[in-house]
Amino acid sequence: MSKLVSTLREAMEKAGLKSGMTISFHHHLRNGDYVLNMVLEEAEKMGVRDLGVEASSIFDVHAPIIDHIRNGVVTRLGTNYMGAKVGKAITQGVMDTPVIFRTHGGRPNAIETGKIKIDIAFVAAPCADAAGNANGIYGKSACGSMGYAVSDAKCAQKTIVITDTLMPYPLSPASIEETNVDFVVKVDEIGDAKGIVSGTTQITRDPVGLKIAQTAADVIRHSGYLENGFSFQTGAGGASLAVTKFLKPIMREKGVKGSFGLGGITSYMVDMLKEGYFEKLMDVQCFDLGAVASLRENPNHIEVSASRYASPGVKSACVDHLDTVILGATQVDLDFNVNVHTDSNGFIMGGSGGHSDTAAGAKLAIIVAPLYRARLPIVVDRVHTKSTPGSTVDVLVTQRGIAVNPEREELKRRLVKGGLPVFDISELKNLAERVTGTPEEISKGGRVVAKVEYRDGTIIDEIRSVE
Amino acid sequence: MIRSLLFIPGNNPGMLLNADVHGADAIILDLEDAVSPDQKDAARILVRNAVRALSYNTQLVIRVNPLGTDYYLDDLKAVVPLKPDFIMPTKVDGEEYIKDLAERLTAFEKENGLEEGKIKIIPLIETAEGIENAFRIAKASKRVFGLFLGAEDYSADLRAHRTKEGDEILYARGRILNAARAAAIEAFDTPFTDVNDEEGLEKDAFLAREMGFTGKAAISPRHVSGINKAFSPTKAEIDYAYEVLMAIEEGIRLGKGAVSLRGKMIDKPIVDRAKRVVETAKILGLGGYENE
Q: Using CB atoms, which residue from B21, B53, B220 is nearest to A435? A: B53
Q: How far is the alpha carbon of B218 from chain A, nearest alpha carbon, in Å?
A: 13
Whether A207 sits inside 8 A of B17 (CB atoms) is no
Give the percent of chain B with pLDDT over 70.
98
Q: How far is the alpha carbon of A400 from chain B, nearest alpha carbon, in Å?
A: 6
Rounded mean pLDDT of B161-180? 96
Specify the pLDDT at position B291: 33
What sign for the dihedral angle of Cα B22, B27, B33, B39? positive
Q: Using CB atoms, which residue from B21, B53, B54 is nearest to A211? A: B21
Predicted confidence band of residue A1 (pLDDT cuts 50, 70, 90): low
Statement: residue B290 has pLDDT above 50? no
Convert the pLDDT of each residue in A137-147 to its tens digit.
999 999 999 99
Q: How far is the alpha carbon of A88 from chain B, nearest alpha carbon, in Å?
A: 27
Q: Are strands A401-404 and A395-398 parallel, antiparallel or unpaired?
A: antiparallel
Contact A22, A52 (CB under 8 A): yes
Whether A435 sits inside 8 A of B21 (CB atoms) is no
**Among A59-63, A96-100, A439-443, which stretch is predicted with the lowest mean pLDDT?**
A439-443
Predicted confidence band of residue A381 (pLDDT cuts 50, 70, 90): very high
Give the separation between CA A237 and CA B119, rounded to whole angstroms.
43
Between residues B55 and B137, which one has the greater pLDDT? B137
Rounded mean pLDDT of B98-114? 97
**Among A419-433, B96-110, B205-219, B278-292, which stretch is predicted with the lowest mean pLDDT?**
B278-292
Q: How far is the alpha carbon of B285 from chain A, nearest alpha carbon, in Å?
A: 11
Specify the pLDDT at position B287: 62
Rounded mean pLDDT of A65-78? 98
Contact A368, A397 (CB under 8 A): yes
Amino acid code (one letter) for A199: G
Residue A45 φ then ψ, to 5°: -60, -35
Q: Which of B 181-240 lie inside 8 A of A, CB atoms?
A: 220-222
Statement: residue A228 has pLDDT above 50? yes
Q: How far is the alpha carbon of A287 from chain B, nearest alpha carbon, in Å?
A: 25
Amino acid code (one letter) for A256: V
The burial class, CB within 10 Å (0-12 / 13-18 / 19+), for B163 is exposed
Contact A249, A275 (CB under 8 A): no
Whether B21 sits inside 8 A of A400 (CB atoms) is yes
Rounded mean pLDDT of A381-403? 97
Among all residues of chain A, which has the CA nearest to that of B50? A435
Q: Write b or e for each residue in A313-341: b if 16 or more Cβ atoms lie within 10 A of its Cβ, otherwise e.
A: bbeebbbebbbbbbbbbbbbbbbbbbbbb
Between residues B55 and A116, which one has the greater pLDDT? A116
Judge if the upstream peptide bond of residue A173 is cis by omega within 30 degrees of 0: yes
Amino acid code (one letter) for B28: I
Predicted confidence band of residue B254 (pLDDT cuts 50, 70, 90): confident
Coil vs helix vs strand at A140: coil
Residue A166 φ then ψ, to 5°: -90, 130
Q: Which 8-state DSSP code applies to residue A15?
A: T
Domains (ranges, CATH) in chain B? Answer: 4-230 (3.20.20.60), 235-291 (no CATH)
Statement: residue A443 has pLDDT above 90? no
Statement: residue B238 has pLDDT above 80? yes
How many distinct helices (H) and strands (E) make up chain B?
Answer: 12, 11
Domains (ranges, CATH) in chain A? Answer: 4-196 (3.40.1080.10), 207-441 (3.40.1080.10)
Convert the pLDDT of each residue in A232-243 to its tens digit.
999 877 788 999
Identify the contact set of chain A against chain B, taking CB-CB distances under 8 A: 205, 207-208, 210-211, 372, 399-400, 434-435
The rounded mean pLDDT for chain A is: 96
Predicted confidence band of residue B292 (pLDDT cuts 50, 70, 90): very low
Statement: residue B286 has pLDDT above 80? no
The H or E element spanning position A150 is helix A150-155
Contact A38, A187 (CB under 8 A): yes
Specify the pLDDT at position A441: 79
Statement: residue B289 has pLDDT above 60? no
Sequence-distant (≥ 6) Cβ neighbours of residue B263 within 8 angstroms: none
Statement: residue B288 has pLDDT above 70? no
Q: Using CB atoms, which residue from A210, A434, A435 is nearest to B222? A: A210
Give the separation between CA A148 and CA A307, rounded to whole angstroms.
8
Q: Which long-range contacts (CB under 8 A, 24 or more apart) does B227-231 make?
A: B227/B3, B227/B4, B227/B201, B228/B3, B228/B4, B228/B23, B228/B24, B228/B25, B229/B202, B229/B205, B230/B3, B230/B202, B230/B205, B230/B206, B231/B3, B231/B4, B231/B205
- Which residues of B are less than 8 Å from A208 in CB distance? 18, 21
The H or E element spanning position A365 is strand A364-368
Beta bridge partners of B278: none
The H or E element spanning position B6 is strand B4-9
Give the separation between CA B250 and CA A153, rounded to whole angstroms.
80
Q: Chains A and B: how many Cβ contacts under 8 Å?
A: 24
Whether A207 sits inside 8 A of B54 (CB atoms) is no
Among all residues of chain A, which has the CA nearest to that of B14? A374
Specify the pLDDT at position B83: 97
Sequence-distant (≥ 6) Cβ neighbours of residue B14 within 8 angstroms: none
Q: Which of B 7-46 lie inside 8 A of A, CB atoms?
A: 17-18, 21-23
Whether A205 sits inside 8 A of B222 (CB atoms) is yes
